[in-house]
Chains A and B, each alone.
Chain A
Amino acid sequence: MDLGQFLSDANNLAWLIPVGPLLAFLVITLITNKATLVSADEGGHYADHNHPAYPGLKVPVVADWSRVASIVVGMSGVIAAWLISIAVVTNAAGVADFGKYVLESSVRWMDTGAGGFSMGVLVDPATVAMLIMVPLACTLIFIYSIGYMAHDPRQARFFSLIALFSGAMLTLVVADNLLLLFVGWEIMGLCSFMLIGFWFEKPSAYKAAVKAFTTTRVADVIMLLGIAYLYAVTGTLSFREIVYNVEVLEGLAELPAIIIPGLSAAGLIGICLIIGTIGKSAQFPLHVWLPDAMEGPTPVSAMIHAAAMVSAGIFALLRMFPLFEAGGHPHDGVYTPPLLLMAIAGSLTAIFAATIALAQNDVKKVLAYSTISQLGFMVAALGIGAFVAAFFHLLTHAFFKALLFMASGSVIHGMEHGEHHVHHHAHDDEDEHDHAHETPLLAAESHGHDAHDTASHDAHGHDAHGHGEHTAHAPHFDPQDMMNMGGLRKTMPVTFITFLIGGLSLAGFPLVTAGFWSKDEILLDAWYGVTNGYGPHALVFVLLAISAFLTAFYTMRQIGLTFMGEARTEEAKHANLGRGVVAFTMTLPLVVLAFFAIFAGFVGVHPDFPIFGSIFSPNGNPFFDFITTSLAVKPEKVGFYWVPVLTSFAVGLGGIGLGYLMYWRKPLVAGQEDPLVKILGTTLHTTLKNKYYFDELYTIIFILPAQWFSKNVAYEFLDKGVIDGTLHFTGRLFTWIGDFIKVMNAWLIDGFGDGLSEMIGRAGIWFRRMQSGSVQQYLLIVALAAIVIVIVFALSTGVLQAAP
């Protein structure tokens, strides 16, 4: 096919979106990932403070050119994806009656017994919305990573993995069928495994990686079952053919499911798919992996929590929403089992994670639980049929959560910076250090090298944020612990302002932040149900309102502890990002995202909202009108109510106010206990701090029995007893048979085989005798041969002629 012609068709353009990052992944992995093994004890090249120490080990250190090359290749890939996405979005905007008509292109991928299976890309309004958010967020995360990973010995590996990660996410977004979506989904699962365990020398990191992988795997298997069942029933996995086709949906809703009585096929498939999302988007009870995933580098956390992984889960739900809804009508109070599952799981997750977040002191863990909680908002919203509101919240949340994660990464980076500074003071004279600080441009990079010499390395041992077993060692400074911070607003002003914007957006600060508008939308939908007396709507409304209050509170607590008051440790006093390239690449994305954290909300303002409605939505809610065209049956619009708006105001401002009173007006000083402990009581606080003991519970319920089973039953009994026993017996049996065959072989097969080759060889020697060198003999043989041929011919013709 002619490439130019292929690309000039707007339908085909979306194929190219994932190509850039995937190519970048290949190029970096195969070409620019050149490393040499350097002993970890020789500080020199290896002076990264994000990275754990590996005393006595050899670590691969990427060559300088490969650092640069991997950055250039990775950036080119993701920027290409971004630009193509913009082109696709522009093209989509040019399609008349977009939504009914979409950009799509597919190829026959596999011929199956039940007709062909096509793979392709689809650009409908939902895709367009994601294409505005995902590539932009990915690009910013890449930019941020340049600074964040600048001193990591495995930087190239990092870039190749996040390139694959974004490639997979983009594949998922443009996929036109569930299987391709699942492919992207699984690649992301793999990437998250490798990225969470990026610092795999740290036991806590690889354990977190395994935990994330196994937990999501459980969910993915169930999801795959759902996909398989869907394919078995409908013979297709294409989104347009299933969810945009009312007949198929009705058929599925009426068909009773296999195995489980009383459930429709649509219900069973829906529940399977939702379980997949519960794993991927870390909903209760499969949420346990996500807080541990904070072991990965911070850009990865942003990737997982904002742009990619968890959004993918929600996006899959949004894609298949009509299927969940099939047979029910939440607007009229008719719920299907998948909807109820989402409503209950979502709202419970929202409040449950929000309470845990209250008591966390780790700056990233707070955000992790906040993510779980916010995802709960979206799932709960879908459960009550608020498709548009859930989608809206997905987008705004992606922006402000990416912002918060990257800002917290900056904080951690700054704290580590401060930590080195302090160590440097302890071990070295000040002049040299200042010198490093005053070097312009690349000061930040050289700073890393200078500050972190061998002496401080040895003296410090484990300098990075080690958890788990590492904490068992000597007094340890945790740069992620908010109790160690305070007063950072002075040394890190840009980070502070952007963090504040993100935090207010998350808290739902009324009217001016994106988070307010999307949360308000969800509450509005829920309240509509309450006014009609629908139970699940009421549950969602109450739980989400409380969660929103808690969210506002813990966000203020986080900001207060981190940025307000005076520095509680020496490290915090010296925390900063330095100057130069690193600092620039780490703050630029924050500023860009801060813009979206405020303004992204204005695309979905309710048209009847006083003043704002008439400014931003004079012709009806633009986001609503746009996004609902990707559904075959448009959801009904919900009217305007004052109660949810006032609730939003109350919980947002209330939470913020309470947080302000407790943590801003009287900031904590060093050594002071968190005032929350007194209010909640030690028992409750400890329970929350330990995440309701879920990890311990799972250890007792799943892990210990599994270990016992694998040791006693699988290993001792099955493996050693049954299998080994059988094997040993079989082994002996076959040895005996082998001996027998060997004897047979010796005289029968060898006799024949060797004999044959020997015969051929002898024949050669015998024939060779004819080659005597005497021309007379040769000519005689030729003459004889000619005569023989003539005689044979003569005889055969005689026979032939006599025959008829």
Chain B
Amino acid sequence: MQPFDLLASLPAIAAAVGLTITSIVVLALDMFLKESQRRNIAFVTAAGMFLTAGMMLAFWMPTAATEGLYWGGMVRFDMLATMFCVIALLGGGITALITIDVDKLGRSGEYYLIITVSTLGACLVSSASDLIMVFLGLETMTIPLYVLAAFRRDDKKSAESGMKYFLFGSFASAILLYGLSLIYGFTGSTNLYTIAEYMGSDAFTVNLVPVLVAITLIVVGFGFKISAAPFHFWTPDVYEGAPTPVTAFLSVVSKAASFALLVRFALTAFPPALAINGAEVQLFWTNLAAVLAVVSMIVGNLIALAQKNIKRMLAYSSIAQAGYTLIGVAALAADGREQAVAGISYYMLMYMFTNLLAFGVVILYSNATGKDDIRDFAGLSRRSPWMAIAMTIALLSLAGVPPGAGFLGKFFLFQAAVLSNLTWLALFGILMSLVALYYYLIVIKYMYVDKGEDEEQAIPVSGTYRWTLAVVTIVVILLGSFAVQPIFNWAMEGAQTLFASL
């Protein structure tokens, strides 16, 4: 093992360091600021996160020389980790900004503190390369979310959703932990790379079936985090019950980080070349991912059709989106694997912006009106045309219609599937996108065609929201147009270095 070099090791946990500092500052501000000034904590939080992300991109980009395991093999410093850290940081920052005027959340320092800690967990998850770190990161990310879901203690729905989330989460954690411990039991190591090495060697004599049981348990655990069907049941209830900014946060940040972990875990612990008793292990989990993808797309899209509440609709939509992303995971088995990793990264990036945009509009709307049914959006285009346009762009992007970023996101994933000889899966994804179009367009139809109750009354939009949503809208359009090439190339580069190290 190399001697410990603090300076060289720091970039690997740059996000964690930045977030720790931010959380301390937030904690201090919460104590010293008066109630009326506490809303400024949102800016501090967002600034801390954006600054960290900016610094990472500007100074601590991994290179071929600096790439590798750090901190005793606990974290890995590479492009994939950086990319998902940035996604988490940006997602956290935007969430902080769109919370600012929400009743009870916007002015409480602990809310921002918890968001920051959860983001910290997400960053650790993105770069974890050790079973211990995996579990620690996941719990650091998830436990704050249980608290957040139940943040409105006096609201029955919020409390119920927090409780459900906690029960479900602990159940899933237990299953995941069981899977991880099985792996440790087989191999006697907690480092993912060492595990892979050991399993590939002749010393490894365990039968295939127990390994598959471990894989199953781990995938089930991840399935909970990414809200893939049939492990999705918590999603609609939690999404609906939790305060909307929290829903927004957990729909993007925890999902993105979990996908990063899934990809890394799957590829490092069970690398493509690994075969046990003549059976390629990889095929099992990619097939499993394919099945989960299909089930998620069916369940998410079909149930979304029947929803009346916009948050529940977005919850099922997020299950369906997890399904699309799982197509990328399924494509990791064959020639399209680089494309698949890049596709997943790109999809999560664009999904983060798009979903936060949609939730941002929902937050604004329900803040002003106290309603969050789809029907309530009737006539929004005449009430607040800009909000309606932002929502339309977000929904079109989710549906995968140009110029939203979602079109290219789906395109890359489906392309990866085709490259990996999973054409049927890509076709199924396209079919399901067609179904999805219906429930997204219904919202647009309500906004533009139907008549609302008080149409002449514009929704009040404060400056923070206006700027945040405007910038996010532009980013969504840019990601679907001019910015695709550089971003996707970046993702592709990350994917290539990931495979180069395998």
Decide if A and B are genuine partners.
yes
**Nearest residue, chain B, Cβ from A778:** B233
Distance in angstroms between the alpha carbons of A778 and B235 in the assembled complex: 11
Cβ distance B149 to chain A, nearest Cβ, rounded Å: 14
C-alpha spacing A33/B277, complex, angstroms? 80
A793 within 8 A of B: yes
- Tell whether B278 is near chain A: CB-to-CB under 8 Å: yes
**Complexed CA–CA distance, A782 and B216 (Å):** 12
Interface: A746 (CB within 8 A): no
DSSP class of B's interface residues: helix, strand, loop or mixed?
helix
**CB distance B279 to A786 under 8 Å?**
no
Instruction: Indicate if A610 sits at the interface (CB-CB under 8 A).
Output: no
Decide if B237 touches A786 in the complex (CB within 8 Å): no
Shortest distance from the beta carbon of B274 to any chain A beta carbon, whole Å? 14
Instruction: Report the minimum CB–CB distance from A762 to chain B (whole Å).
Output: 9
Q: Find out whether the CB atom of A794 lies under 8 angstroms from the CB atom of B231.
A: no
Q: Give A564 to B315 CA distance when docked, in angstroms.
A: 95
| A4 interfacial by beta-carbon distance below 8 Å | no
Least CB distance, B441 to chain A, in whole angstroms:
13
Tell which of B168, B175, B302, B435 touches A775, judged by Cβ atoms closer than 8 Å: B168
A760: interface (CB < 8 Å): yes
Q: Which residues 753-772 of A have a CB within 8 angstroms of B?
A: 760-761, 763-765, 767-768, 770-771
Question: B269 to chain A: closest CB distance in Å?
Answer: 16
Assuming the contacts A779-B168, A779-B171, A782-B231, asked whether A801 and B277 have C-beta atoms less than 8 A apart, the reply is: yes
In the complex, A200→B120 CA distance in Å?
74
Beyond A764-B303, A786-B216, A793-B212, whether A778 also contacts B234 by CB under 8 A is yes
Interface residues of A in 769-804 (CB under 8 A from B): 770-771, 773, 775, 778-779, 781-782, 785-786, 789-790, 793-794, 796-797, 800-801, 804
B contacts with A, residue count (CB < 8 A): 34
Given that A771-B233, A773-B237, A778-B233 are contacting pairs, would A794 and B302 also be in contact in the complex, using a CB cutoff of 8 Å?
no
Q: Which of A767, A779, A801 touches B303 (beta carbons < 8 Å)? A: A767
The residue that B435 contacts in the complex, of A760, A771, A797, A804, with Cβ under 8 A, is A760
Asked whether, in the complex, the Cβ of B306 is within 8 Å of the Cβ of A768, the reply is yes
A177–B435 Cα distance when bound, in Å, is: 54
Shortest distance from the beta carbon of A43 to any chain B beta carbon, whole Å: 44
Q: Are A764 and B304 in contact (CB under 8 A)?
A: yes
Least CB distance from B377 to A in Å reads: 20
- Asked if B220 and A786 sit within 8 Å, CB to CB, the answer is yes
Contacting A at CB under 8 A, from B202-223, are 208-209, 212-213, 215-217, 219-220
Query: What's the Cα separation between A181 and B302 when bound, in Å?
Result: 61
Q: Which residues of the other chain, B, contact A771 by a CB distance below 8 angstroms?
A: 233, 236-237, 303
User: Which of A761, A794, A797 has its CB near the most chain B CB atoms (within 10 A)?
Assistant: A797
Q: Which residues of A contact B167 (CB under 8 A)?
A: 775, 779
Given A760-B302, A793-B216, the answer on whether A781 and B279 have CB atoms closer than 8 Å is no
Please give me the residue from chain A that is nearest to B209 by CB atom: A794
| A716 vs B305: C-alpha distance when bound (angstroms) | 58
Residue among A761, A763, A770, A790 making CB contact with B212, cutoff 8 Å: A790
How many pairs, one residue from A and one from B, have CB atoms within 8 Å of each other in the complex?
78
Residue B411 CB within 8 A of the other chain: no
Determine if B230 is an interface residue (Cβ-Cβ < 8 Å). yes
Tell me what chain A mostly uses at the interface: helix, strand, loop, or mixed.
helix
B168: A residues at CB distance < 8 A = 775, 778-779
* Interchain nearest-CB distance for A787 vs B (Å): 9
Given contact pairs A775-B164, A790-B212, A785 touches B231 in the complex (Cβ within 8 A):
yes
Expressed in whole angstroms, the Cα–Cα distance for A800 and B280 within the complex equals 10
Given A785-B230, A793-B284; A801-B208 close (CB under 8 Å): yes
Q: Which residues on the A side are within 8 Å of B209 (C-beta)?
A: 793-794, 797
Given A778-B233, A790-B212, is A804 in contact with B278 using a C-beta cutoff of 8 Å? yes
CA gap between A98 and B12 in the complex, in Å: 68
How far is it, in angstroms, between the C-alpha of A719 and the C-alpha of B64 when the chains are bound?
Answer: 77
Bound-state CA distance A804–B279 (Å) is: 11
Per-residue interface assignment for chain B, residues 160 to 192, with 1 indicating a CB less than 8 Å from any chain A CB and 0 otherwise: 000010011001100100000000000000000
**Smallest beta-carbon distance B316→chain A, Å:** 9
Measured CA separation A779–B299 after assembly (Å): 17
Q: Is B288 an interface residue (CB 8 A)?
A: yes
Q: How far is the CB of A757 from chain B (nearest CB, A)?
A: 8
Measured as residues with beta carbon below 8 angstroms from the partner, the interface class of chain A is 20 to 34
**What distance in Å separates the Cβ of A683 from its nearest Cβ neighbour in chain B?**
76
Report the bound CA distance from A765 to B278 in whole Å: 44
Nearest chain B CB to A748 CB, angstrom units: 22
Q: What CA separation (Å) do A763 and B302 show in the bound complex?
A: 7
| A800–chain B nearest beta-carbon distance, Å | 5
Rounded to whole angstroms, the CA-CA distance of A796 and B212 in the bound complex is 11
CB within 8 Å for A782 and B284 given contacts A767-B302, A794-B212: no
Chain B residues whose C-beta falls within 8 Å of the C-beta of A761 in the assembled complex: 305-306
Taking a contact as CB atoms closer than 8 A, the residue among A764, A785, A789 that contacts B305 in the complex is A764
Chain B, residue nearest A770 (CB):
B233
- Residues of A near B304 (CB, < 8 A) are 764
Q: Are A786 and B303 in contact (CB-based, < 8 A)?
A: no
Contacts of A767 in B (CB 8 A): 299, 302-303
Query: How far, in Å, is A473 (CB) from chain B's closest CB?
Result: 55
Q: How far, in angstroms, from A123 to B230 measured CA to CA in the complex?
A: 74
A766 CB to closest chain B CB (Å) equals: 9
- CB neighbours (8 Å) of B233 from chain A are 770-771, 778, 781-782
A residues in contact with B220, CB < 8 Å: 782, 785-786, 789
Question: Roughly how many angstroms separate A771 CA and B233 CA in the complex, as a whole number?
Answer: 7
1/0 per position for A599-642, CB-CB distance to B under 8 A? 00000000000000000000000000000000000000000000
Given A764-B305, A789-B288, are A801 and B279 also a contact pair (CB < 8 Å)?
Answer: yes
| B163: nearest chain-A partner, CB-CB | A775
Please give, as numbers and ranges, the residues of chain B lying within 8 Å of A779 by CB-CB distance.
Answer: 167-168, 171
CB-based contact A790/B230 at 8 Å:
no
User: What is the bound-complex CA distance between A786 and B237, given in angstroms?
Assistant: 22
Instruction: Report the separation of the CA atoms of residues A561 and B220 in the bound assembly, to the nearest whole angstrom.
Output: 105
**Once the chains are docked, how many angstroms separate the CA of A790 from the CA of B306?**
32
Residues of B within 8 A of A793 (CB): 209, 212-213, 215-216, 284, 288
Bound-complex Cα distance A775 to B224 (A):
14
A761 closest partner in B (C-beta): B305
CB distance from A556 to the nearest CB of B (A): 69
Q: Which residues of A contact B172 (CB under 8 A)?
A: 782
In the bound complex, CA of A768 to CA of B316 (Å): 10
| B230 lies within 8 A of A782 (CB) | yes
Alpha-carbon distance between A165 and B217 when the two chains are bound, in angstroms = 77
Residues in A neighbouring B234, C-beta threshold 8 A: 778
Task: Write out the residue numbers on chain A whose beta carbons fall within 8 Å of the beta carbon of B215.
Answer: 793
A786 to B175, CA, bound (A): 10
Q: Is the CB of B213 within 8 A of A801?
A: no
Contact A764–B306 (Cβ < 8 Å)? yes
Min Cβ gap B92→A in Å is 28
A residues less than 8 Å from B302 (CB atoms): 760, 763-764, 767
| Complex alpha-carbon distance, A674 and B459, angstroms | 85
Most buried by B among A767, A779, A794: A767
- Minimum CB–CB distance from B169 to chain A (whole Å) comes to 11
Tell whether A800 pairs with B306 under 8 Å between CB atoms, given A771-B236, A786-B216.
Answer: no
> In the assembled complex, how far is the CB of residue A303 from the closest CB belonging to chain B, in whole angstroms?
43
Tell me the complex Cα distance, A244–B6, Å.
76
Partner among B175, B278, B299 whose Cβ is within 8 Å of the Cβ of A801: B278
- Output the least CB separation between A126 and chain B (Å): 46
| A-B CB contact pairs (8 Å), 23 listed | A760-B305, A761-B306, A764-B302, A767-B302, A767-B303, A771-B233, A771-B237, A775-B167, A782-B172, A782-B220, A782-B233, A785-B220, A785-B230, A789-B219, A789-B220, A789-B288, A790-B212, A793-B213, A793-B216, A793-B284, A797-B209, A801-B277, A801-B278
- Told that A778-B234, A789-B219, A790-B216 touch, could you supply 13 new A-B pairs with CB distance under 8 A? A764-B305, A764-B306, A767-B302, A771-B233, A771-B236, A781-B233, A782-B220, A789-B220, A793-B209, A793-B216, A794-B209, A800-B278, A804-B278
Query: Which A-B residue pairs are the 10 nearest by beta carbons?
Result: A778-B233, A764-B302, A764-B306, A764-B305, A793-B212, A785-B230, A786-B220, A789-B216, A767-B303, A763-B302
